[in-house]
Structure formats: structure tokens, C-alpha cells
């Protein structure tokens, strides 16, 4: 299996330290609002990663975190606190807000048919462990205190610029004028924030006799340390995480424990909607519920994503989604051939080629091109091939295509008889009834076949 490793900027052969326990961590959502189709891009693509690992005989141990504290509207240390902002907006407590959006996130996660992680960890459940890392970093001399919080001195971590290929000189030159004079370097970041006098912050914990809360990046270092242990095999996130969030996670983990954090780093690109960045002001923020209101299923969205590559910027539109839906229906009709006396094939060659595509840095688009070839053959898929398709993509191609009812079968036969008797009115009426049940009929040389209506 080959994967693009952001760390080396190269496609590398992936060999896990332990094939029976491939340690994976995916940075999770900040639960201050509903997750939109852009946010779900990452989780949907990482599901493909997990499925591909399984197809290769690996077993994963995957942890997903839920950010319910510490994330400011900028990924660095300024802007509003996202959780507090969500609470004000909704007229709820931060804890209620966290619970509500976390529940919604997990519900959508399941609706998408994504494989459940081994552990889903809320940042606020790991405060004690956070504090241990803060202490370790302080002891190692990486931290300095400011009125805002305990900051990581990035100049003391010589590798700091390496992961994101940062130009620290440029960063320094471009630092804003109002830049806090307590911060030693523009790239320094808070590992622990203090609550200042008069400041209103609902989530707070006592540390060194004062109230405060963890900086956003800390939870990932902590949860990985507690739940998986370093180094992990694969760490995943959005490309926006490279220059700040993941760079800071690495500094914390390597600074505190002197070990490599992760062997592989995978990053998914962003989707745009109708050519534009997803934003409230443009009115192009869509949720899975918006798609279902327009008659599209979570599987259609997945199909749309998997037609492209996780590292490519993709543009979402309802036309594209309709095209993905049609393609998925095509696969379902392929699967439905197995009920209709059509000769079956294992498609062993196609199966091997599809796996090879997935093993080439998750080339799902290539795998679907191979599957299209199988569909064109006119043969029906064997149970084994269908299982492979569903294991690989989680699109329920096999599960969602049961045989039709006896009643419908009788109607199809009655229509064929009516046609033979030239009773076209009756034949048309039966065809309409069959259509109302969601099926269309194809009259071909080898008799009539039914299909799911698009």
C-alpha cells in the first residue's frame, strides 16, 4: 500500500509497525455548530483509508477526538472562543452546545456508514493528562509565561519549521504591528491559556492556583499519548492543519516525550461549493440534511467525493451530485442483475485492479473506472465481488439491492403476457404500476429486465 506522506512530501510504501493494530488518529470536529459537507470531507475520505487498510489484511486502532474546548476562531491564539461563541448564539451553556453538536456529528457519521472508531475522545475528558504534558514541556524548558497563557517557545524546538516547510523569517517580517510584545516569536503558541481578571469563560480548570484551559493543539498530543502511544502509524487531517495545528502538535509531543508523533501524515484538500469557498455570507453552506431534502442520500455524497481524489480540490454542485447519484444507481442496477438469471462473474481481474488503485494512495476514481468496465461487461457480479465493492467503499451497493417482491415479479410477467396478446392498454397500466413501485423495465433480446429508477 502506498500513501502520500506530507512529512516527506513523497508517496511511500506504508508498512505499519504492527499490522494487527495500525494506530490512526484523525483530528475531529469542533462541536460549536453543525458540521457541513465540507467538514465531512475528511471523515469520508479517511473511511476509505480504513477500508483500504482492512482490504490489505490490516486491522486498525483508530481514535477520533472531539474538540469541545480551547479552539479560537483563528487556529492560532486570537479571535473568539468557538465554544463560547456557539453558546451565546444558541442561548445555551457551552456544555449543552458541545453535547448537541457532538450528537449531531455522530448521527451524521453513522448515516454516512463510516466505520466507528475504536475510541471517540472529548478534549474536556483529558484535562489532567493535558496538565502532565504542560508540566513536562515546562520542565524541558520549552514554555514561558505571559498574561495570556503558557506559551511554547518555538525557537527552542529547532525542527519547528520542518513539517510545514515554514519560512520563519518571513513570518517574523509579516507579523502584525499589534502583535503581543509578550510573545517571543510569531509562531509561538499557547499550550495553556489563563483566564484573565474580569474575563468570562465557562470552561475552566485550576492549574497552579489559577483558572485556565488548554490551548487547542494540546488535546491531540494528549489523546494520542493516552489512547494510542507514540509513534502512531497515521495521523490525518485537513490541509489547513499543516502549518499551525499539526506543526504545534508535533512540537508538543516531541518536546514533551522526545519521540516521533506519527510515521505518516495524510491531509485532505478542501471542497468548494459552486466555485466558491464555503461560507455563510455566500449562502452556500450545505448540510447532509439539505442534500436529503433535495432527494440525495449520504451515499450519493460519498460517491461524489470518491469520484475524486482526497488530495484534489473538488467543486461541489447539485449537478455533480446528481451525476454521482446516477453512477451509484448504475452500480446498484449492476448488482440487481444477480436476481435476473444473468450469468455471474467474480471479476477477479477487475477486483485486483481496483485494489491496486486503492493501494496507490487511495485512487478511488481509478477504482471506479475499473468498476465501470465490469458493469459494461453485461455480466452480473458474484456475491464475492459485491462484498468487495461494499467493503471497499461502504456504499451498500449489495445490501441496498434485494430481489423484488413476488407481487412485482407477477406484474412483470403479466405485462409481458399482455404485450404478447397485444393488449397495450393493460401492458402500459402495469408498467405504470411497476414504475410507481420504483422500477423501470428494459425490454431486451434476452427478455425483460428490471432496474431501479433513477
Residue 87 binds ligand AMP, judged by CB under 6 A? no
Part of the chain binding ligand AMP (CB under 6 A), chosen from 35-43, 215-223, 365-373, 445-453: 35-43
Nearer to ligand AMP, 82 or 332 (CB): 82
Letters for 20-59 (x = contact with Zn ion by CB under 5 A, - = none) are -------x--------------------------------
Residue 247 binds ligand AMP, judged by CB under 6 A? no
Task: Report which residue's Cβ sits closest to ligand AMP.
Answer: 238
Record the cell numbers describing residue 231, joined without a space: 509513534
Number of residues lying near ligand AMP (CB under 6 A): 11
Residue 240 interaction partner, one of ligand AMP, Zn ion, none, beta carbon < 5-8 Å per kind: ligand AMP
Query: Could you count the other beta carbons within 10 Å of the beta carbon of residue 444?
Result: 9
Contacts (CB under 6 A) with ligand AMP, residues 203-242: 238, 240
Q: Which residue has the cell 434476452?
A: 446
In angstroms, what is the minimal distance from the CB of 13 to ligand AMP?
27
Residue 41 binds ligand AMP, judged by CB under 6 A? yes
In angstroms, what is the minimal distance from the CB of 15 to Zn ion?
24
Nearer to ligand AMP, 195 or 242 (CB): 242
Residue 30 binds ligand AMP, judged by CB under 6 A? yes
Residue 69 binds Zn ion, judged by CB under 5 A? no
Best CA proximity match to 415, nearest among 402, 403, 433 = 433
In angstroms, what is the minimal distance from the CB of 349 to ligand AMP?
35
Residue 66 binds ligand AMP, judged by CB under 6 A? no
Nearer to ligand AMP, 240 or 440 (CB): 240
Letters for 217-256 (x = contact with Zn ion by CB under 5 A, - = none) are ---x------------------------------------
Residue 220 interaction partner, one of Zn ion, ligand AMP, none, beta carbon < 5-8 Å per kind: Zn ion
Nearer to ligand AMP, 30 or 248 (CB): 30
Contacts (CB under 6 A) with ligand AMP, residues 270-299: 270-271, 278
Record the cell numbers describing residue 334, joined without a space: 449492476
Part of the chain binding ligand AMP (CB under 6 A), chosen from 37-45, 123-131, 164-172, 255-263: 37-45
In angstroms, what is the minimal distance from the CB of 216 to Zn ion?
8
In angstroms, what is the minimal distance from the CB of 214 to ligand AMP?
17
Nearer to Zn ion, 40 or 286 (CB): 40
Residue 26 interaction partner, one of ligand AMP, Zn ion, none, beta carbon < 5-8 Å per kind: none
Residue 34 binds ligand AMP, judged by CB under 6 A? no
Nearer to Zn ion, 190 or 220 (CB): 220
**SS3 letters across the chain:** CEEEECCCCEEEECCCCCCCCEEEEECCCECCCCCCCCHHHHHHHHHHHHHHHHHCCCCEEEEEEEECCCCECCCCCCCCEHHHHHHHHHCCCHHHHHHHHHHHHHHHHHHCCCCCCCEEEEHHHHHHHHHHHHHHHHHCCCEEECCCEEEECHHHCCCCCCCCCCCHHHHHHCCCCCCCCCCCCCCCEEEEEECCCCCCCCCCEEECCEEEEECCCHHHHHHHHHHHCCCEEEEEEEHHHHHHHHHHHHHHHHHHHCCCCEEEEEEECCEEECCECCCHHHCCCCCHHHHHHCCCCHHHHHHHHHCCCCCCCEEECHHHHHHHHHHHHHHHHHHHHHHCCCCEECCHHHHHHHHHHHHECCCHHHHHHHHHHHHHCCCEECHHHHHHHHHHHCCCCCCCCCCCCHHHHHHHHHHHHHHHCCCHHHHHHHHHHHHHCCEEEEEECCEEEEEECC
- Is the CB of residue 154 less than 8 Å from the CB of residue 188? yes
Q: Which residue has the cell 516569536?
A: 185
Nearer to ligand AMP, 192 or 316 (CB): 316
Q: List b or e across 353-372, with b for residues whose CB sees 16 or more CB atoms inside 10 angstroms.
A: bbbebbbebbbbebbbebbe
Q: Give the one residue of 38, 214, 231, 298 binding ligand AMP; rule: CB under 6 A.
A: 38
Which chain residues interact with ligand AMP by CB under 6 A? 29-30, 38-39, 41-42, 238, 240, 270-271, 278
Which chain residues interact with Zn ion by CB under 5 A? 27, 220
Amino acid at each position: 500500500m502506498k500513501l502520500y506522506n506530507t512529512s516527506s512530501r513523497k508517496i511511500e510504501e506504508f508498512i505499519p509497525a504492527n499490522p494487527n493494530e495500525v494506530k490512526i488518529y484523525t483530528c475531529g470536529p469542533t462541536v460549536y455548530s453543525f458540521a457541513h459537507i465540507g467538514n465531512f470531507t475528511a471523515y469520508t475520505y479517511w473511511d476509505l483509508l480504513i477500508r483500504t487498510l482492512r482490504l490489505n489484511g490490516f486491522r486498525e486502532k483508530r481514535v477520533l477526538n472531539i474538540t469541545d474546548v480551547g479552539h479560537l476562531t483563528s487556529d492560532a491564539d486570537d479571535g473568539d472562543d468557538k465554544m463560547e461563541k456557539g453558546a451565546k448564539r444558541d442561548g445555551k451553556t457551552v456544555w449543552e452546545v458541545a453535547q448537541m453538536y457532538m450528537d449531531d456529528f455522530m448521527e451524521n457519521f453513522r448515516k454516512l456508514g463510516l466505520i466507528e472508531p475504536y475510541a471517540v475522545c472529548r478534549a474536556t475528558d483529558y484535562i489532567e493528562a493535558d496538565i502532565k504534558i504542560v508540566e513536562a514541556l515546562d520542565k524541558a524548558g520549552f514554555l514561558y509565561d505571559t498574561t495570556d497563557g503558557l506559551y511554547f517557545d518555538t525557537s527552542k524546538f529547532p525542527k519547528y519549521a520542518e513539517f510545514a516547510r515554514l519560512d520563519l523569517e518571513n513570518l517574523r517580517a509579516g507579523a502584525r504591528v499589534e502583535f503581543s510584545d509578550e510573545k517571543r516569536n510569531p509562531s509561538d503558541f499557547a499550550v495553556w491559556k489563563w483566564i484573565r481578571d474580569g474575563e468570562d469563560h465557562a470552561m475552566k480548570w485550576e492549574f497552579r492556583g489559577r483558572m485556565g484551559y488548554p490551548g487547542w493543539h494540546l488535546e491531540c498530543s494528549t489523546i494520542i499519548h493516552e489512547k494510542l502511544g507514540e509513534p502512531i502509524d497515521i495521523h490525518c487531517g485537513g490541509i489547513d492543519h499543516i502549518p499551525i495545528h499539526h506543526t504545534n502538535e508535533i512540537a508538543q509531543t516531541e518536546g514533551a516525550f522526545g519521540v516521533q508523533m506519527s510515521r505518516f501524515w495524510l491531509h485532505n484538500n478542501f471542497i468548494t461549493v459552486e466555485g466558491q469557498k464555503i461560507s455563510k455570507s455566500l449562502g452556500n453552506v450545505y448540510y447532509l440534511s439539505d442534500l436529503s431534502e433535495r432527494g440525495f442520500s449520504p451515499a450519493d455524497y460519498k460517491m461524489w467525493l470518491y469520484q475524486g481524489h482526497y488530495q484534489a480540490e473538488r467543486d461541489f454542485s447539485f449537478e455533480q451530485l446528481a451525476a454521482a447519484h446516477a453512477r451509484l444507481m448504475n452500480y446498484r442496477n449492476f448488482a440487481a442483475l444477480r436476481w435476473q438469471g444473468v450469468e455471474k462473474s467474480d471479476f477477479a481481474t477487475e477486483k485486483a485492479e481496483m485494489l491496486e488503485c486503492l493501494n496507490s494512495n487511495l485512487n478511488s476514481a481509478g477504482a471506479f473506472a475499473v468498476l465501470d468496465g465490469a458493469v459494461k461487461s453485461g455480466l452480473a457480479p458474484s456475491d464475492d465481488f459485491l462484498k468487495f465493492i461494499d467493503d471497499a467503499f461502504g456504499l451498500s451497493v449489495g445490501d441496498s439491492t434485494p430481489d423484488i417482491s413476488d407481487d412485482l415479479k407477477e406484474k412483470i410477467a403479466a405485462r409481458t403476457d399482455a404485450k404478447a396478446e397485444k393488449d397495450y392498454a393493460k401492458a402500459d397500466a402495469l408498467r405504470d404500476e411497476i414504475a410507481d413501485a420504483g422500477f423501470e423495465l428494459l425490454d431486451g433480446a434476452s427478455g425483460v429486465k428490471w432496474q431501479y429508477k433513477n
